[in-house]
Amino acid sequence: MTSIFINYRRDDTSGYAGRIEDRLASAFGADAVFRDLDDIRPGVNFVRAIEDGVIGCDVMLVLIGKRWLDVRDSSGRRRIDNPEDFVRREIAEALESNIRVLPVLVNDASMPAENELPEALARLASIQAIPLSDERWDYDLGQLLASIGGAKARIRGSRRRWIGIAALIVLLASAALALMWWKSSRAPDIAGLWVADVQYGFGVRHTEKFAFRIDAGTLGGVASFLGVDRGILEGKMTSNQLSFVTRTEEVSGDEKRQTEHHYRGIVSGNEIRFVMQTEGGFSPHPPVEWTARRMPVHRPE
């Protein structure tokens, strides 16, 4: 079974990473795809899990958006120039280990030149990239899946193989303990009203409201889009993650097209970090990210 590691920078391509992960999981199986947001359970060492995920993969996808090269830290330094940066460390480890690396260009990004990259990543510039455009998303993604499916198994040195096996055993043991804890924990109670200030990709800003309810484990309620309430469909809540869909119509002249808005959220206390992707309509829609906050309940004295 082909094992795929998705390398991405959250400040640049997190929305695209979620969409790509869903398609890869459908094609190769959920267990074949590793992405840090979903695949590291509570109680597991984050750094160790990332390193083991890289060592154990057959293919690494490096997602590159328009800001990938120039995302900076609080001191103004490019994060890609920091040897401790996770994105850089993962790619460098894959290149050093002769793991197959596929650069994936999204949101009309260009492949960085060798002189724009740190020395540890210089080889990345010589690898043929695969573009994923919003206009030809399904076709381009099909090309990516075909390229991954044609990957040949690597023959690794025995030392690295046994290191990987030992690390995998440790990871599985840690994951088993974390899974026992996770299964015994309850999903956070998100019932009630949440509010977010959302900047959409087409230049419009709205205050959006989310009124959630949980009925027999199913997520329901309403979520506003452009200030208008829409019913929640296909709502799911697992541990601290939620997902749902709403539908609207786009109008151009006399023609109408239905659009679907796919929401994914991570709950942390009184905040939910959302990524929303709109599909359908007359034009492509880049993913939108924001944070919703719980509104306090005012009870009569």
Q: Is this structure's pTM higher than 0.75?
A: no
Residue 255: pLDDT over 80: yes
Q: How high is the pLDDT of residue 43?
A: 45
Split at pLDDT 50, 70, 90, the class of 184 is very low
Reported as a single tens digit per residue, the pLDDT across 262-285 is: 998 889 889 999 988 888 877 777
Residue 151: pLDDT over 60: no
Q: What percent of the chain has pLDDT over 90?
A: 34
Residues 256, 120: Cα–Cα separation, whole Å: 50
The amino acid that residue 79 corresponds to is: R
* Burial zone of 55 (CB within 10 Å; 0-12 exposed, 13-18 middle, 19+ buried): buried
Please name each of the domains of the chain with its CATH number. Answer: 4-182 (3.40.50.10140), 192-294 (2.40.128)
Q: How high is the pLDDT of residue 168?
A: 65
Residue 42: pLDDT over 50: no
Reported as a single tens digit per residue, the pLDDT across 64-114 is: 999 999 999 888 999 999 998 889 989 998 998 889 999 999 988 999 999
Q: How high is the pLDDT of residue 155?
A: 31
Give the mean pLDDT of the chain: 82
Residue 39: pLDDT over 60: no
Residue 160: pLDDT over 70: no
118-122, 181-185, 258-262: which has the minimum mean pLDDT? 181-185
Q: How high is the pLDDT of residue 116?
A: 95
Please check whether residue 104 is in contact with residue 14, taking contact to mean a CB–CB distance below 8 angstroms: no
Name the residue with higher pLDDT: 297 or 8: 8
Residue 294: pLDDT over 90: yes
Residue 227, both tokens: 């200030």
Split at pLDDT 50, 70, 90, the class of 44 is very low
Split at pLDDT 50, 70, 90, the class of 11 is confident
